[in-house]
């Protein structure tokens, strides 16, 4: 008969492997999450992260009930409910990860991570094969920038819903395996680069390089910097168009006053809206009412399957971020790069939850700051996620935060066990 820990082990693996389909992932997260929590032997201790998640859930509910009465139409209520449920599920995901790490021994948790990595890598290899067959070339990345070559990396996403999620999680594995001096670090780097999510790769490379420069000795610095240089040289050979894209953004678009990146515009709009009234400054516009996956989902332009009769856009969203990302503007060629996406967790936390949301996020980060000396590879992950938050609403994509929490909790537990054994 399977033990409780073994059951939890396989349930969590299933949740990870269902990351490519949001509906299935959420269903199994709720279903298996409740089972995992019921099987837990130990009481979950409340920490700063629990305060963050529960605080955001409370804010979402009170915003709906007290501050944002818009006649409570069906579409308004649905928008509010979806936003609230996203954060409730984020809280549940945090509890599941905390329970798993607490109940598993360190080696079993590492084995779980290894199993998932290998399975995900196999799926990526299958996807590479299908792209090669479709393009009839051994190097589909070398195609012209705006043909199939631009979207080649989009097809190499493993089990995840898109390649950007794959890139970020593979960057976590890269740091993890590098610190463990595990040879699978090479495979992790390859899997990360295959996504061709160049904005994420660029942010990760910069943060990792700066951290290495101020932390490690000269020999280690030379090894790591040399590795990064070799990676970019390889990209120049395999996929030169993606590096040209990064160069274009850095040298032209960011400095353009005529047509600045819409992500930069979105940050300006968020700050202007935040300071536009006491309500916006303190409470924000409300969950799902300014800048989030929910806001774009219920607006009807983010997906084609959302029912037209249930579409909803708040006034603040309609005036600000929606004009930056909708079907009309995306009908213009080459307007859909990451630098033009208004998606960002910082837009979300400031625009939808105001000062209270910012304070709650500070509490969330304080958990890792106070455990800074218990972290090794977790330090780079913590700094990297702060950079990645510029790119998208990662708390709305449960996979990224699931793995981030898992690696951070594992790193802290490793240190605590090591201290107890000394």
Token pair 């079993």: residue? 108
CA distance 250 to 225: 21
Long-range contacts of residues 119-127, Cβ cutoff 8 Å, at least 24 apart: 119/17, 119/159, 120/158, 120/159, 120/166, 120/191, 121/158, 121/187, 121/191, 123/158, 123/159, 124/156, 124/157, 124/158, 124/166, 124/191, 124/194, 127/155, 127/156, 127/157, 127/158
What lies within 8 Å, CB to CB, of 129 at 6+ separation is: none
CB 76 within 8 A of CB 83: no
CA distance 256 to 32: 49
Predicted pLDDT of residue 142: 64
- Number of Cα atoms under 13 Å in the Cβ half of residue 308: 0
Quote the pTM value: 0.89
CA distance 64 to 278: 17
CA distance 273 to 317: 10
CA distance 39 to 33: 10
Three-class DSSP labels, 156-189: CCCCCCCHHHHHHHHHHHHHHHHHCCCCHHHHHH
Q: At what angle do helices 377-388 and 163-179 cross, to 10 degrees?
A: 160
* CA neighbor of 298 nearest in space, from 270, 318, 320: 318
Distance set, CA 247 to CA 171, 228, 250, 327 (Å): 21, 17, 5, 27
The structure tokens listed for 268 are: 């300006």
Tell me the mean pLDDT per 10 residues along the chain, length 422.
57 63 67 69 76 95 77 88 91 83 84 88 89 78 49 77 90 94 91 86 89 80 74 65 61 62 92 95 94 92 83 93 84 68 95 97 94 94 96 90 92 89 72
- For the chain, how are helix, strand and coil distributed in percent, rounded to 5? 75, 0, 25
Longest dimension (CA), the chain: 67
Predicted pLDDT of residue 148: 41
The structure tokens listed for 331 are: 């009908």
Distance set, CA 168 to CA 82, 205, 209 (Å): 25, 12, 16
CA distance 410 to 379: 13
> Which DSSP symbol is given to 253?
I
């Amino acid at each position: 008969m399977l033990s409780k820990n073994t059951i939890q082990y396989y349930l969590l693996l299933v949740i990870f492997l269902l990351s490519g389909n949001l509906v299935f992932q959420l269903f199994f997260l709720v279903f298996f999450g409740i089972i995992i929590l019921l099987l837990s032997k130990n009481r979950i201790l409340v920490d700063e992260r629990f305060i963050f998640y529960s605080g955001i859930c409370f804010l979402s509910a009170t915003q709906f009930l007290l501050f944002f009465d818009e006649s409570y139409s069906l579409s308004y209520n649905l928008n509010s409910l979806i936003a609230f449920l996203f954060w409730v599920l984020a809280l549940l995901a945090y509890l599941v990860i905390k329970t798993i790490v607490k109940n598993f021994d360190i080696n079993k948790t590492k084995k779980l991570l290894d199993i998932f990595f290998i399975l995900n890598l196999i799926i990526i290899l299958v996807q590479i094969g299908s792209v090669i067959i479709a393009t009839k070339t051994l190097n589909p990345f070398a195609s012209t920038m705006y043909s199939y070559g631009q979207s080649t990396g989009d097809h190499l996403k493993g089990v995840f819903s898109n390649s950007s999620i794959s890139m970020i999680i593979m960057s976590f594995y890269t740091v993890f395996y590098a610190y463990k001096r595990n040879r699978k670090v090479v495979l992790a780097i390859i899997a990360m680069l295959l996504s061709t999510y160049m904005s994420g790769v660029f942010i990760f490379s910069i943060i990792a390089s700066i951290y290495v420069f101020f932390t490690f000795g000269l020999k280690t610095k030379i090894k790591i910097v040399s590795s990064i240089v070799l990676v970019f040289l390889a990209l120049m050979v395999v996929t030169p168009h993606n590096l040209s894209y990064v160069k274009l953004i850095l040298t032209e678009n960011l400095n353009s006053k005529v047509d600045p990146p819409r992500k930069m515009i979105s940050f300006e709009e968020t700050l202007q809206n935040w300071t536009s009234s006491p309500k916006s400054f303190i409470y924000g516009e409300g969950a799902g009412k300014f800048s989030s996956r929910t806001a774009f989902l219920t607006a009807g332009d983010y997906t084609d399957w959302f029912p037209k009769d249930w579409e909803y856009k708040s006034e603040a969203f309609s005036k600000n971020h929606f004009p930056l990302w909708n079907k009309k503007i995306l009908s213009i060629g080459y307007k859909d790069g990451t630098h033009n996406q208004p998606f960002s967790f910082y837009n979300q936390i400031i625009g939808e939850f105001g000062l209270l949301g910012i304070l709650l996020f500070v509490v969330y980060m304080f958990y890792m700051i106070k455990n800074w000396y218990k972290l090794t590879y977790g330090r780079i992950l913590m700094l990297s996620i702060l950079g990645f938050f510029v790119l998208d609403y990662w708390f709305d994509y449960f996979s990224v935060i699931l793995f981030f929490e898992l690696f951070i909790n594992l790193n802290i537990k490793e240190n605590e066990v090591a201290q107890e054994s000394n």
